[in-house]
């Protein structure tokens, strides 16, 4: 049996997964992300941690197929163009890790959201292309076509959160544009819409505009029939349904997968998206499959490992 390491690099911690070639996660652990020196110690820390694990397990070099990395920023040909949270700019991840590890090993790197899409694709054994959307503090995504991760020419393939979704009252996005999907269906946007409706006092609600307001509370209230909460959920479904219809006309995927913390709302979110999707979708694409992602915070490790497996199967 051969093995692969999947490394999910975040701004706070680095998750490292040890998987076999069939995609079974055998062990995982995390180490702190050292942001000193513009993140210059991160890959060395990962190499040290994995080297100790390899020695502990008495693994031979031939047992390891490679090392995959998911990174919080655009990646082109294994070069991290800019990872603001890490302090990286134009870091050749493969070359840097090989130097840190001390051996000429196979390294593949990709954007974290795109890599998470690959993880879902691999583990759910999808027969066809998929689009993955992750909803949380921001909105990320990934596209898998013919079993391959679509990074794009500039490392921005799958940046679904920055498709323009709101034209009438566009809000400023952290990317510098206005009206991005992220401004409406990420945590801040969902809370802002609820606060606006609470202030208007036109809809009955049990929700209160205080520090406890959150997408979780909003979706839970909607499940209990709260009128205002249902209006917020419906609007979230509209933005996502419209965006998915646009993506479907471009990629024609087998399925859309919705992940991230907000997706913990469950079926009520999927139903809201599907309700509006059919109103925007081209006729040949209306019978679309929508699913909740299943891997949660482990998706990055699985997907990073899949980068190695997919590369070997080219």
Domain locations in the chain? 3-118+298-312, 126-294
Determine the CATH number of domain 126-294.
Answer: 3.30.420.40
Question: Residue 311: what pLDDT?
Answer: 79
Which pLDDT belongs to residue 156? 86
| Per-residue confidence (pLDDT) for residue 149, from 0 to 100 | 87
**Lookup: tokens for 237:** 């479904």
Tell me the pLDDT of the chain averaged across its residues: 95
The 10s digit of each residue's pLDDT in 59-71 is 999 999 999 999 9
Q: For position 235, what pLDDT does the model report?
A: 98
pLDDT the model gives residue 293: 94
Mean pLDDT within 288-308? 95
The CATH superfamily label for domain 3-118+298-312 reads ATPase, nucleotide binding domain (3.30.420.40)
pLDDT at site 85: 87
Q: Record the tokens describing residue 58, joined without a space.
A: 């008495």
Say how far apart CA 233 and CA 184 lie, in whole Å. 11
Residue 56 has pLDDT above 70, yes or no: yes
Average pLDDT over every residue of 22-41: 95
Q: 3-118+298-312 with 126-294: one CATH topology?
A: yes
pLDDT band for 237, please (50, 70, 90 cuts): very high
Position 314 scores a pLDDT of 60
pLDDT bin (cut points 50, 70, 90) of residue 236 is: very high
Average pLDDT over residues 1-20: 95
Cα distance between residue 100 and residue 95, in whole Å? 9
């Amino acid at each position: 049996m051969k093995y692969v390491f999947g490394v999910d690099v975040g701004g706070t911690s680095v998750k490292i997964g040890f998987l076999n070639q069939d995609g079974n996660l055998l062990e995982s652990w995390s180490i702190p992300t050292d942001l000193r020196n513009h993140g210059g110690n991160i890959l060395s820390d990962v190499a040290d941690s994995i080297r100790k694990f390899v020695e502990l397990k008495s693994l031979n070099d031939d047992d390891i197929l490679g090392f995959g990395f998911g990174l919080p920023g655009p990646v082109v040909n294994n070069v991290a163009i800019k990872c603001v949270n890490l302090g990286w700019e134009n870091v050749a991840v493969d070359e840097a890790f090989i130097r840190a590890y001390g051996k000429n090993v196979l390294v593949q790197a990709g954007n974290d959201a795109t890599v998470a899409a690959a993880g879902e694709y691999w583990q759910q054994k999808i027969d066809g292309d998929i689009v993955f959307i992750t909803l949380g503090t921001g909105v990320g995504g990934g596209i898998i076509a013919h079993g391959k991760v679509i990074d794009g020419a500039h490392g921005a393939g799958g940046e679904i959160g920055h498709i323009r979704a709101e034209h009438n009252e566009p809000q400023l996005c952290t990317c510098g544009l206005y009206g991005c999907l992220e401004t409406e269906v990420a945590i801040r946007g969902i809370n802002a819409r609820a606060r606006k409706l609470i202030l208007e006092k036109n809809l009955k609600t049990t929700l209160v505009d205080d520090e406890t307001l959150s997408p979780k509370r909003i979706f839970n209230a909607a499940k209990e029939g709260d009128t205002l909460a249902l209006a917020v959920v419906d609007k979230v479904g509209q933005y996502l349904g419209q965006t998915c219809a646009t993506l479907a006309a471009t990629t024609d995927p087998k399925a859309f997968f919705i992940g991230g913390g907000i997706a913990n709302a469950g079926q009520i979110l999927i139903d809201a998206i599907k309700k509006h999707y059919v109103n925007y979708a081209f006729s040949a694409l209306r019978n679309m499959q929508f699913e909740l992602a299943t891997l949660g915070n482990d998706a990055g490790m699985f997907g990073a490992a899949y980068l190695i497996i997919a590369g070997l199967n080219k």
